[in-house]
Chain A
Amino acid sequence: MTTLLERGATAATTPRRQAAKRTGGRRVGSHLFLIALVLYFVLPLWFLIVGSTKDTAGLFSGAAGPLFFDDEFHLFDNIAQLFTQDGGIYWRWLGNSFLYALSGGVGATVLAVLAGYGFAKYRFRGRDASFALLLGSVMVPVTALVIPTFVLLSNFGLLNTIWAVILPSLLSPFGVYLMRVYASEAVADEILDAARVDGAGELRTFFTVALPLLKPAIVTVLLLSIVGTWNNYFLPLAVLSNTQLLPVTVGLGNWQASSTAGAAGEQVWNLVVTGSLVSIVPLILSFLFLQRYWQGGLSLGSLK
């Protein structure tokens, strides 16, 4: 396992090769293939963009069909309705998602950086055994933990609090693994020793010498954990029943379910569509703007 991952990591950290002259005659074919792929991957997004401009009636029987804009334009009405439906609970959900993703993501990253550095740069007793346990846990299916976590949290009276989502999100064995691999390569023992000789304590050495060197890996782990928490569905679905605390994923799922169930007042298809679109905008934008970081970063881990 380690060998595999390490190879991926080293392969990727070698300097990006220069744009060597690439030969290949099927340029046109390749581009057509890519266009077909792009159409496929963008299709649901396109539907969402078009759909968010329609009201519920338009979604069912728009004159232009589901894949094109109608004459009527309801996007702003829909967004306004997101503010009024159930007292604007949608924005509460979105805020919750931000809270959970940021606190869970930042917390998991802090723990992973500390632990990864500890594993990489110290030879304390029980290190190898603990790390082997950690590696094994990467394979434990996360969902197998949801039910016992639910029961444990309920024993501590933490169900239906924000901690029920945030605390379990702090766990990121894969993040620790990544940090260890990266730290053992990026932080040379000699630099640490030099700092110690200069009289810096262990903490000071960590913060002033090691931490700056770990920056690329920190960005990656942070991104992976934020996306992971933002995406989380099973855990909040199980541990939260107070609608005020739901993240946007679970909230929208509930709206969709109640719309399907069909009580006339609950038909909020237009809100499900518009709400979905609004909720994915922040993540898509941050991926577009942070391209430089994650493209380098994902190769670092070679996988999640």
Chain B
Amino acid sequence: MTQALAAQPVRTKRRSASAIDRRRQRWGWLFVAPFAVVFLTFLIAPLGYAFWLSLQTKTLAFGTQFTWFQNYAKAFSDPQFLEGVGRVLLFAVVLIPIQMLVSLAAALVLDTLTTKLARFSRLMIFVPYAIPVVIGALMWGFLYSPRFGPAQSLFEVFGLDAPLFLDPSNVFGSLVNVVTWQWAGYYMIIIYAALRGIDPEIYEAARIDGASGWQTALRIKVPMISSALVLILVFALIGTMQFFTEPQILRSIAAGSIDAAYTPNIYAYTLAFSYSQYNYASAISFALGLVVFIASYIFLFLTRKRSGLG
């Protein structure tokens, strides 16, 4: 973070620290103040409060007691929580590469075409971003449903039985599909925008050197947009670890496959709102937040060299 701040554009002209100037700089605080109030109220305070709650335990016999890190010890030895963390990590490992591959391939193809069909496709691939995650999950829930989904009739053409998408063994893949569908278009647009930012003279040079389309794509375009890719990856990572809405929606039609601790967030939600265990639920949320925070920083650190930054 310090490094990042140092990278801020350096002012060449340092203004003289006259009294007027100093008084003017106070305006900075006035501009920032409204946001600062919201930031403190709805980010810092809840975070602090969650931490404070997580250090307490409420029991019928003793009331609320300060138990320090007992809830965390409990969380990190709670098989339901650990299984959930393992599952979202697995989601990250499977889902993110698929998502990146789809969006990168789409963006690279779109970048080479200027036809009407290409423009139309760009919009259509982006459309899921305009659809709320809940609705997306609902729609896929319908499509997966053996009762009114189209899968059975599609597979019958080939004389096969449709897979049961919401079975315990398949629901993981089904969720991967929903999330890919929901976000790939958004990532595609960002990658596409980054690609449009590359100076085309570089391609000219590559062409003269006899590089093929594939070589240009993989050796020039991809490395040049690596910083955009790294950032999308980080945000995908954060999003995936917080997996909540899609499994929560599909739960109601696939209760046997998605249990109340399927992801850490669903677990925390259930603990808080079904069992009123706010203390333990806060510890779970906080522990998850910590895992996400550390994971994304490790990821940023590891990719810093590769993307030629830092």
A contact residues vs B (CB 8 Å cutoff): 1-8, 11-12, 14, 16-20, 22-27, 30-31, 33-35, 37-38, 40-45, 47-48, 51, 59-60, 65-67, 110-112, 114-115, 117-119, 121-125, 127-128, 130-132, 134-137, 139-152, 167-168, 170-171, 173, 176, 184, 189, 202, 206, 227, 230-231, 233-234, 238, 249-250, 252-253, 256-257, 260-261, 269, 272-273, 276, 279-280, 283-284, 286-288, 291, 295, 298-299, 302-304
Contact = CB atoms under 8 A, between A and B. Distances in A.
Contacts of B28: 118-119, 121-124, 127
Given A23-B207, A171-B38, A249-B134, A11 B46 contact: no
B91 interface: no
A contacts with B: majority SS: helix
Give the interface SS of chain B, mostly helix, strand, loop or mixed: helix
Interface string B237-249: 0100110110011
Contact of B244 (A122, A134, A234): A234
B165 interface: no
Given A231-B132, A252-B134, A299-B193, A276 B139 contact: yes
Contacts of A167: 38, 41-42
A253 B31 CA distance: 40
Contact of A44 (B4, B181, B241, B285): B181
Given A276-B139, A287-B130, A298-B193, A137 B43 contact: yes
A11 B309 CA distance: 15
A172 B115 CA distance: 37
A145 B34 contact: no
Contacts of B194: 8, 11-12, 299, 302
A101 to B, nearest CB: 10
B200 A17 contact: yes
Given A253-B248, A299-B197, 18 more contacts: A1-B4, A3-B4, A7-B227, A8-B231, A20-B203, A26-B213, A33-B109, A43-B143, A122-B24, A132-B5, A140-B47, A145-B47, A146-B269, A147-B285, A233-B133, A233-B244, A276-B139, A283-B130
Nearest to B292: A141
Contacts of B207: 23
B26 interface: yes
Nearest to B8: A2
Contacts of A20: 200, 203-204
Contacts of A144: 47, 50, 242, 285-286, 288-289, 292
Interface residues of B, number: 124
A3 B231 contact: no
B112 A24 contact: yes
Contact of B227 (A8, A67, A140): A8
Given A137-B43, A233-B132, A4 B31 contact: no
Interface of B: 1-5, 7-9, 11, 13, 24-32, 34-36, 38-39, 41-43, 45-47, 49-50, 53, 102, 105-106, 109-110, 112-115, 117-118, 120-121, 123-136, 138-143, 147-150, 153, 181, 184-186, 189-190, 193-194, 196-200, 203-204, 207, 213, 227-228, 230-232, 234-235, 238, 241-242, 244-245, 248-249, 252-253, 265, 268-269, 272-273, 278, 281-282, 285-286, 288-289, 292-293, 296-297, 300, 307, 309-310
